[in-house]
Amino acid sequence: MSEERKYERVAYYPGCALEGTGHAYNRSTKAVGKALGLKLDEVKNWNCCGAMEVKNIDPKIQTYLSSRVMSIAANEMGHDVVMAPCNGCYHNLKKAEYDLEHDGKSREVVGRLSEKAGHETYEAGRVETIHALDWIKDGIGEDGLKAKVKNSLQSVKIANYYGCMYTRPRHIFPEKDKGPGSESTSEPHFMDDLLAAAGAENVDFPLKTACCGGAHTLSDSDISTKLVLNILEAAETAGADVIATECPTCHTGLEMHQIRAEKRLGRKTTVKILYFTQLLGIALGLSPRKVGVHENVSDSRGFLKEKGLA
Amino acid sequence: MPIHEQSLIRPENIRTHDELVLDGIDVSGHWSTFIEPRVVTDYNEALEDEIAALPGGENIHRCWQCGSCTNSCTVNAVNPDFNPRYWIYLIRMGMESELLRDRDIIWQCVSCNKCTYACPRDVEPEGVMKATAHWLEKKGHTPKSPSIIFDEIFADQVIARGKIEESSIIRKFLKRTGQPLMQDWLIAMARGLLMKLPVGLMRRMGLAMLFRPRTAGWSKARAALEEYVEECEREQRRALGLGNGKPE
């Protein structure tokens, strides 16, 4: 099958958070890639995509920032796929792709800025931006993953939390909502599928795409704490031991506001928070340290031992 | 006139009579809900155009008031006064003074994009919220919100260096908004981390704070972006009729 080699080697765009608070996500993504035989070439000399903040100064600056990353991957490295594990980076690259295809003013501004900055202008369609979920789901598939599981997650109950930026707004994700096999923007399932293949039991979690208030995690902490508490309590009510995450902003937000909710609102929750790549890595037989469990704020080491996974 | 659009009217302007007979017909209770007669003299006819001139506000004219944005809104679920549909209505009507009554909460939009997902008219209400928050600040109706202060610190660092270093942004933000760095929950978080981290990782994080990450050869991009930011600022001030279009 020609599809077999899909995504075997892709350009890797970790982004700023994965070098800071989300380092465990970076470490576990690389470790899982290695264990699965998927190769990553880090985008050379990348820059920040603009996260959630720069677009509020001017959206076209964000389009330019994201376009530069794609330009390097395409023009300097010869890649046609960029993989971004961070929902924010993934979203911004997708958004830039959409804007450059559909909006003449964006093309004009990006062309002008690229020329002044001294690099080739990115042209829409040169690369395909994918998330770490697509990378594993389409690069290895559930059957491929199952065959490599050494340490089944069978005793772990998981609430899969996708957040906002992976599915919304719909128009920047033209490949989603295309029926069987494609990702859904209203009820995403790629993370559920992968973790189920690793043996875990996914609980029925109604807040998969709820917002954690990540954009205002510091600037409006009280609202963020309430939003996160909703997610944590809903996961516990659904019977989850662990919330699996796929975004460093969501992940850190859940961890921070789990502590803040206890300190400020007296509402304690004990559900663990792990990146889905950490869970997959453990299922593939990697040690918790290899996938950076010790780098998380939420301490899952005892829990993993208890479940016989460490 | 009985009304069915209560969410568009301030509660104090709504009157319900327990017993009322009009032209011999009993219209007590629900059917006797009326809007207080009032005269609006302070329309700002340019309001919609001004919001549309700011990034994110471009599509406000498409709104047909279905209410999907407010219905799906994350912040509305926490605070019912946060009502994007109502603000879009006020802006399109030019009712500036009514809009100003909510000036302190409009910036609280968390950009979850549920509204933009739900909107059948591609208004992109999330962008309209950001444009409105900017409009309030640029016109001097509100001080800079914590959100825009955070955005500015963040964007300044990206434009200057190409990359960000999170801890310096957090420190700068807490300082500029007059909050103590030693928040109980931040301390608890840091303590939890420090107890588990290996020495090597701590050293790496310390180095990142001292030698901030930066993108090599960024200076030309920086100059181009700084120039572009100034250009945007000039254009926006001109569109809002502020001064001669020079940056503040």
CB-based contact A20 B221, cutoff 8 Å: no
Domain check: are A116 and A9 in the same one? yes
Range of the domain at A39: 2-130
Tell whether A211 and A264 lie within a shared domain: yes
Q: What is the DSSP letter of A290?
A: T
A8 backbone dihedrals φ, ψ, rounded to 5°: -65, -35
B185 to A263: CB separation less than 8 angstroms, yes or no: yes
A310 close contact with B: CB closer than 8 A: no
Query: Closest Cα partner for A189 from A170, A208, A168?
Result: A208
- Per CATH, the number for B47-138 is 1.10.1060.10
pLDDT of residue A293: 95
Residues A26 and A64 placed together within one structural domain of the fold: yes
Q: Is residue A138 part of a domain?
A: no
Per-residue pLDDT of chain A (310 residues; tens, 9 = 90+): 444 479 999 999 999 999 988 999 999 999 999 999 999 999 999 999 999 899 999 999 999 999 999 999 999 999 999 999 999 999 999 999 999 999 999 999 999 999 999 999 999 999 999 999 999 999 999 999 999 999 999 999 999 999 999 999 999 999 999 999 999 999 999 999 999 999 999 999 999 999 999 999 999 999 999 999 999 999 999 999 999 999 999 999 999 999 999 999 999 999 999 999 999 999 999 999 999 999 999 899 999 999 999 8
pLDDT, residue B205, reads: 66
Clarify whether residues A116 and A155 are in a common domain. no
Decide if A68 is inside a domain.
yes
Same domain, A248 and A287: yes
pLDDT at B1: 37
Q: Cα separation of A43 and A12, whole Å?
A: 6
* pLDDT computed for residue B202 by the predictor: 67
- Give the strand pairing for B21-22 and B25-26: antiparallel
Global pTM reads: 0.92
Measured at the CA of B65, the angle between CA A223 and CA A58, to 5 degrees, comes to 55
DSSP state of A292: T
Per-residue pLDDT of chain B (248 residues; tens, 9 = 90+): 344 466 677 778 888 888 888 888 888 877 777 888 878 788 999 999 999 999 999 999 999 999 999 999 999 999 999 999 999 999 999 999 999 999 999 999 999 999 999 999 999 999 999 999 999 999 999 999 999 999 999 999 999 999 998 888 988 999 999 888 777 888 887 777 777 766 666 666 666 666 778 899 999 999 999 999 999 999 999 999 997 545 44
Please give the pLDDT value at position A54.
94
Of B154, B173, B224, the CB nearest to A116: B224
Which value does ipTM take for this structure? 0.93
Of the residues A57, A207, A254, A291, the best mutation for testing chain B's interface (the one with the most B CB atoms within 10 Å of its CB) is A57
- % of chain A at pLDDT higher than 90: 95
- Claim to verify: residue A193 and residue A296 sit in the same structural domain: yes
Q: What is the pLDDT of residue B2?
A: 43
Residues A262 and A206 both lie in one domain: yes
Q: Are residues A183 and A270 in the same domain?
A: yes
Q: Do B154 and A210 touch (CB under 8 A)?
A: no
Would you tell me which residues 101-120 of chain A have a C-beta closer than 8 angstroms to some C-beta of chain B?
Answer: 109, 112-113, 116-118
Nearest CA in chain B to A214: B110
Residue of A nearest to B131 (CA): A56
A125 with A162, same domain: the answer is: no
Distance CA B228, CA B222 (A): 10
Measured in angstroms, the CA of B228 and the nearest CA of chain A are apart by 8
Which chain A residue's Cα is nearest to B76? A223
A17 vs B: CB within 8 A? yes
Helices (H), chain A: 23-36, 59-71, 87-102, 104-117, 132-139, 141-148, 190-197, 221-237, 248-265, 276-283, 301-306
Read off the CATH number of the domain in which A109 is found: 1.20.1050.140
Going by DSSP bridges, is the β-strand pair B33-35/A9-12 parallel, antiparallel, or unpaired? unpaired
Contact A144/A136 with Cβ under 8 angstroms? no
Omega of the bond leading into A169 within 30 degrees of 0 (cis): yes
- Which A positions 209-268 lie with beta carbon below 8 A of chain B? 210-211, 213-216, 218-220, 223-224, 226-227, 255-256, 259-260, 263-264
B-chain CB neighbours of A61 within 8 Å are 155, 159, 225, 228-229
Task: Write the CA distances from B124 to A50, B154, B159, integer angstroms.
Answer: 19, 24, 26
Q: Mark whether A180 and A233 lie in a shared domain.
A: yes
Regarding whether A117 and A58 lie in a shared domain, the answer is yes
Number of domains observed in the structure of chain A: 2
What residues does CATH 1.10.1060.10 cover in chain B? 47-138
Render pLDDT for A194-244 as a digit per residue (tens, 0 to 9): 999 999 999 999 999 999 999 999 999 999 999 999 999 999 999 999 999
State which of A95, A130, A165 marks the end of a domain.
Answer: A130
